[in-house]
Amino acid sequence: MSRPLSRRNFLVAALAVPVAAGTAAATAGPALAVDQHDQFTAAAGKYGVPAAVLAAISYGQTRWEDHAGRPSTSLGYGPMHLIDGAAAQAQRDAAAGKGADTAGVVDTLGQASTLTGLSKDTLRTDTAANIMGAAAVLADAQRTLGHAVGVHTDPATWYAAIASSCGFATAASQRSFADDVISDLRSGVAKKASGVQLQLRAGKVGSVTAQRAVITRRVETAATKQKPAPYPIDAPKNLPVDWVPAPYEQLSADPGNYGNHDLARRPASPALNTIVIHDMEGYYSGSLKLVQDPTYLAWNYSVRSSDGLIAQHLEAADVGWHAGNWYVNSHSIGVEHEGFAVSGPTWFSEPMYRKSARLIAYLCKEYKIPVDRAHIIGHDQVPATTNAGIRSMHWDPGPFWDWEHYFELLGAPLDKGTKAKKKFAVGDLIRILPGFDGNEQIVTGCDTNNPPICVVDGPQPATNFVALHQQPDEGAPLVKDIGLHPDGSASTTKPDDVGARANAGTDFVVADVYGDWTAIWYLGQKSWFHNPRTSPTARILKKGVKAKPKNGKDIQVYGRAYPESSAYPDPSWDQGVAPFNYVWGADQEYVIADTNVPTDYYKAWYYDITTPNDHIDIVGTTKYYLVYFGHRVMYVRADDVELS
């Protein structure tokens, strides 16, 4: 949970403290050079560590955030993520029965306290001390490895020390983290926090081949012990991925009673066109136990919060039961992330974001999945299949998943293809881009079944959406979602109520403008969000496709693109096509996200794949489009709309 506005980021908060000579004030235009900040340079000078190395480690661990002094999933504290190993081990031992990860932990906080003489409490809560402690641990590791220390040493010579002191328990995760730090040092990294541009400039870094080879041998030795046979890992090279297979088992004599996924021939049939991002609402180890239970459900991959370790459970060819919508399941890959949606950034760690994005970028390239917010979606954007199911649909990964940063990591920043505009006009196509840091929309309520971390305690964290109101006024009620609130009441600010949220990266058509407020067409109504000219929360799309109803008539939207009745060889197989109660008004326009939508139903009713007329893809001729209609994506019949 990041700190709000002026206190959100420790560097931003410390701007009143003089930075090193020659560094321009961040608010004057040039970016703040992070590695020249006094807190980094002081620690670097005292322990003989290059300041840029410290800054890059901090970025890789926390993106220069201190999360208001709150611990991460693995009980890491401060911008350097010093791990309280003793407390972490005790917490894991106590939570073992709940499925928590009981792997060994590294006590970097304790090491820092011993080396600096500072108390653990000071290292947890004081950012300058936290950086000082990390520098001491890093320098100690460098000396232990027999390498020279010094503020002007080549960052490449610190590779093994970075790996061994990062707090990760496995050699594969250590190598991956060190690789990322060296990459960031070579390319430079930047982020905007509370209106301030923070930057670590690209620098010269030598070869890390020799040191990396030592860790690589450790990784390969461990992999040989754990994986004596080859497994169908589908992931980019050098990304640590374990094979933890989901079982395909018949559960009784009933041929239709089996679990926990379906066999298929994707992407040949059905097609693959979607990635669904989930959070587990639980612990990594516990979720791995569930996915190996034949009576439960399966998804394709799981990602651990502490270090981004990935486990694969299904091949892309097969269909996991993860999205709550069979049509979406049959066309998607499901990726679960350790954590709890209401706990936000304390679970969604930077290592998790990075490893997940590396996997998703690979999968999108491998299976030709578009890299946009209509095809890489949260579970909260998956539509129900019928009206009756709308209220039971999931809402993870929730309001605290940083979509804008995630797409930067994917190499497809969400502002690409957009432009700034001081004044919007009716009919403009726009993309919601509020930024994450500093975007403090109201979220209230807490799931008491989750760990004792609740977003209503303390400062409001950053969010990934803009709230939509019935009128251009912060005090006006939120817009209505008749699917979630059939009684006609307004949406709420509870974390599971997505009815009045326009998510970062989603596209809409301007319906009206009033001062610093912009209205979009959303769920069949005019919905207002705050979009001040001085700090806009949306940008114009340079190009796109929008649609309006044909013949001036209201039309309907759907939660799946199933075939027409005549497409089914046997009438008893007919799934029907049930429209939602939402109404697309005759005068309303929405952005079409995809005109190439498969119209099909994958029939997989029986365990035995040799059963006649089963495990087949039934294809229809009715054409559908994918549309940004509300918080969740939906489908509209092509014959009902005209495009422009």
**What is the pLDDT at residue 459?**
57
Instruction: In whole angstroms, give the CA distance from residue 108 to residue 644.
Output: 58
> Which residues 6+ apart lie within 8 Å of 375 measured at CB?
273, 274, 275, 369, 593, 594
pLDDT at 31: 82
Task: Look up the CATH superfamily of 241-643.
Answer: Peptidoglycan recognition protein-like (3.40.80.10)
Closest of 443, 444, 369, 435 to residue 408, by C-alpha: 435
Which SS3 state, helix, strand or coil, does residue 3 take? coil
Cα–Cα dist 392/324, whole Å: 9
Question: What are the residues facing 600 on neighbouring strands?
Answer: 619
User: For the domain 5-218, what is the CATH code?
Assistant: 1.10.530
User: Tell me, what's the pLDDT at 21?
Assistant: 29
**Cα 245 → chain centroid:** 23
Predicted local distance difference test score (pLDDT) of residue 72: 84
Q: Examine the pLDDT at 80 and tell me if it is beyond 90.
A: yes
Task: Give the residue range(s) of CATH 1.10.530 domains in the chain.
Answer: 5-218
pLDDT digit string (tens) for 512-559? Answer: 999 999 999 999 999 999 999 999 999 999 999 999 999 999 999 999
Is 74 or 511 the better-scoring residue by pLDDT? 511
Listed range (189-193, 246-250, 502-506) with the worst mean pLDDT: 189-193
State the Cα–Cα distance between residues 24 and 32, nearest whole angstrom: 7
d(CA 153, CA 165): 18
Helix (H) or strand (E) holding 131: helix 127-144
Check pLDDT > 80 for residue 256.
Answer: yes
The share of the chain scoring above pLDDT 90, in percent, equals 79
* H or E stretch covering 54: helix 51-62
State the average pLDDT over residues 411-433: 96
- Summarised one tens digit per residue, pLDDT across range 109-153 is 999 999 999 999 999 999 999 999 999 999 999 999 999 999 999
> Helix or strand or coil: residue 223?
helix
- CATH 3.40.80.10 domain span(s) along the chain: 241-643
Report the relative pairing of strands 429-432 and 538-541 from DSSP bridges. antiparallel
Q: What is the structure's pLDDT at 230?
A: 63
Which residue type is seen at 416? K
User: Of 351, 337, 356, 244, whose CA–CA distance to 283 is shortest?
Assistant: 337
* CB-based contact 84:77 (threshold 8 Å): yes
